[in-house]
Structure 1
Amino acid sequence: MKEINRPVTDLNTFVRLCERLNGEKYLAVDTEFTRTRTYLPKLELIQIASAKLVFCVDVPCISDWSSLREVVNSSGTAVVLHSADQDLEALAQFDLLPLRILDSQIAAQLCGAQKLSYKNIVEEYLGIELAKDQTRSNWSKRPLSTEQIQYALDDVRYILPLFQVLHDQLQQMDRLSWLYEESARLLEQSDHGLTADNAWKSFSGGATLNFHDQQLAKQLLIWREKRAKLINRPRQWIMSDHQIADLVRNKPQSVQVTAHILGKKRHRIPNWVSSVHAMLSVETPNTHYPIWISWKSLNSDQKRQINELLVQINLFATEMELPASLLCTRQEAVEAVCGEFSARMFSGWRWEIVGSMIESWLEANDFKRVNLPKPLAPEFPK
């Protein structure tokens, strides 16, 4: 394998290297980025490896990405990444989302691996010990050190050999189609991205709020996501989760009190405080349907049903040497008992593997596999 041990900074060289990638069945890709002061990851380095070539590209130096875009959008090429979520988010900013991806971390999960970091899996399957001393390195500083460049190249050079081992093992286990399905789902999620309308789902404090306050919190989270993306600053800089919970619980009566809860930050402007305050005074519909569900809010029958479902899932997972969370997460079990059934659980290979068991469980507990209607969200000021 030919290695170019200095970052590519010249456009003509970059184009020639991309031409050498045409026709490859598999390409390995990794990225290095910074994200301490921005909403979006700031892509600094792209590492690429084929069966014959490994190199990295200094992103700020390249003005035209069309040659690489053509390669990753080829129907005959699958791009292999490890733990692809954030890499895909970074690549999407340059319109470099591949047409087809395969995730070696997902492949390792499906093979039954317990430790899923790149370092651990490379050591387990290839017997190679990688240094990870540059993990928290400053990738925006130039020039990059020799250690940084070597670390970056190591992060991509072993992906294809690793993937080949995992691919062969999955083929023997008759699970290769599972990898294709999971990777396609991951790519689809990345293509749609984390939008303002779905970012609220990861709010950690929602389950502690009453139903009315949950409605308010959801709208504040949507508003925060839009503002963070607009000015490209971390969402917690706009308004922290703790501040959102405080606001919806206390519902300050004046803009001044709202401003006091939000605190003084250089990126916040007065009309934002007014917008937040206005949202807190909008009436929400009466509802007994929670947006976030906590374990404490469940009754004893629901807790029993969840535990029964999880026991069955764990038995299946143990028998198949898979992580139980890969079949059904605890949160998915909670939502199922409360009438919300994850599309992930009821489609594809999961349904083929554990579908009959889940179907029997639903029937025994008098559930129907449909989504319950949710109340319409109230209108809030823009």
Structure 2
Amino acid sequence: MIDTHSGYLAAVEAISGGTGPIAIDAERASGYRYSQRAYLIQIFRRGAGTFLFDPPAIGAFTELNELIAGEEWILHAASQDLTCLREVGLDPTRLFDTELAARLAGLPRVGLGAVVEDLLGIHLAKEHSAADWSTRPLPQSWLVYAALDVELLVDLRESLAVVLERDGKSGIAEQEFASVLTRDFVVVRQEPWRRLSGVHAIRGGRNLAIARELWQARDAFAREIDTAPGRLVPDSALVAAARMVPESKRDLAALKDFTGRASRSQIDRWWDAIQAGMASDDLPVLRVAGDVLPPPRVWSDKNPDADKRLKTARTRITEVSTDLSIPVENMLTPEMLRRVAWTPPEPAGKDGIAASLVALGARAWQVDATAQVIADAFVEASQTPQPASEPES
């Protein structure tokens, strides 16, 4: 592993002597660390070889980015790695995503190991995929595993390109790859504490205020020591404390459901959070109004016409998906379809549907493949009579 600045500069020089695209991957410590930073970056280029970089030791990758930014970068599931790569100054301008390409090619399995096995006939062991990559020193077996993740990407890219070209999907793939490069994958939520698993079971504004203060206390501590929040105190423990509202620090410590490795060692921190929630004048509302559609399971009651439009259009798009051998979720995101079904444009013909899809971020190929289908489905749905209601007894 390259963990010195001089070693990094020597690697940049070696990479400059290679040819063709850049295969790149990153390993994080998700589930172990608070941050989503890269703890290992792997690069392969024909004629140069394989390089394993230690990002915390090296810092910024400015020189490398200046060298390779204009080349095609090959990543598998780029959406998972682009944020941590950009964090260290590595930002591609051209992309080939082998995971996305495998989806568009209609392969039944799109994990790296499965695609390599299907197209190259090589079995990749994936036993270290969930490892703590912040470990130092990294075991040799982990480094071998990490190197193999990039050493076959160029060959895999070439095999996938042949399949896409054969099936007339090269243009579709180019649009999808370009779209990935324009996206910011950092999600900023207005009230992130509402993502607590089980928060829906908490009743009352005061209890929600306690849950909020507990979540914020845990988040601040996790950030401070760079540890995944759930490894300190799980969501279920915070929810249990917010629901039960212990009357003293002793009661909190005695609460059986308040678990986690920091549940007792940081008891003062959690008790302070509960007291802050009890004293707060800023009580959260139970439900947040926003631009969120109701779940489809309740559409038949809340908006029967939209329910018929959604179900009919979903069936028709599934048929197109089957014809093209492209997963239905790649044909059009479920959220896009739900939005045009809930509030169809006026008029709801092909052009109106197309304009709505473009406004929602659909790519040109998606609009071409689905706008007329959706418009026809909406007409069909409007002509379908409502099921007769059961006579009252």
TM-score of the aligned structures, taking structure 2 as reference length: 0.71
> Hey, what does 2:295 align to over in structure 1?
294
- Within 2, Cα distance between the matches of 1:196 and 1:239? 21
- Within 2, Cα distance between the matches of 1:66 and 1:334? 42
> Hey, what does 2:309 align to over in structure 1?
305
Question: 1:280-322 deviations in whole A, cap 9, x for unaligned?
Answer: 8547599987736334432253444332121101100011011
Distance 1:258 1:146, change over 3 A: closer
- Within 2, Cα distance between the matches of 1:200 and 1:184? 33
- Within 2, Cα distance between the matches of 1:228 and 1:130? 38
Cα deviation, residue 238, structure 1 = 8.2
Distance 1:255 1:218, change over 3 A: closer
1:318 to 317, 322, 327: 322
Aligned residue type for 1:294: P
RMSD (Å) for aligned C-alpha atoms: 4.4
Distance 1:219 1:71, change over 3 A: farther
- Within 2, Cα distance between the matches of 1:325 and 1:114? 14
- Within 2, Cα distance between the matches of 1:195 and 1:298? 28
- Within 2, Cα distance between the matches of 1:303 and 1:97? 42
- Within 1, Cα distance between the matches of 2:329 and 2:76? 19
- Within 2, Cα distance between the matches of 1:284 and 1:43? 37
- Structure 1 residue 113 corresponds to structure 2 residue 107: yes
8 A contact 1:123–1:129 mirrored in 2: yes
- Within 2, Cα distance between the matches of 1:308 and 1:21? 53
> Hey, what does 1:378 align to over in structure 2?
none
- Within 2, Cα distance between the matches of 1:170 and 1:217? 53
- Structure 1 residue 193 corresponds to structure 2 residue 186: yes
Structure 2, gaps ≥5 residues long = 345-355, 383-393
8 A contact 2:103–2:326 mirrored in 1: yes
> Hey, what does 1:41 align to over in structure 2?
36
8 A contact 2:316–2:377 mirrored in 1: no
Structure 1, gaps ≥5 residues long = 1-6, 367-382
Cα deviation, residue 91, structure 1 = 1.9
- Within 2, Cα distance between the matches of 1:65 and 1:147? 25
Which moved further from structure 2: 338-347 or 238-247?
238-247
- Within 2, Cα distance between the matches of 1:356 and 1:223? 47
Question: 1:72-123 deviations in whole A, cap 9, x for unaligned?
Answer: 4x2x312111012332232233232333332110011111111011001001
Distance 1:218 1:158, change over 3 A: farther
Distance 1:208 1:271, change over 3 A: closer
Matches within 5 A, 1:48-59: 48-52=43-47, 53-59=49-55
> Hey, what does 2:343 align to over in structure 1?
339
- Within 2, Cα distance between the matches of 1:327 and 1:309? 12
- Within 1, Cα distance between the matches of 2:287 and 2:121? 59
- Within 1, Cα distance between the matches of 2:57 and 2:99? 30
8 A contact 1:27–1:49 mirrored in 2: yes
Matches within 5 A, 1:185-264: 185-189=179-183, 191=184, 193-197=186-190, 227=220, 231=224, 232-236=226-230, 264=263
Q: Which has the larger radius of gyration?
A: 2
Aligned residue type for 2:374: I
Structure 1 counterpart SS, 2:113: helix
Aligned residue type for 1:61: A
- Structure 1 residue 11 corresponds to structure 2 residue 5: yes
- Structure 1 residue 26 corresponds to structure 2 residue 21: yes
- Within 1, Cα distance between the matches of 2:275 and 2:335? 35
- Within 2, Cα distance between the matches of 1:109 and 1:258? 49
> Hey, what does 2:386 align to over in structure 1?
none
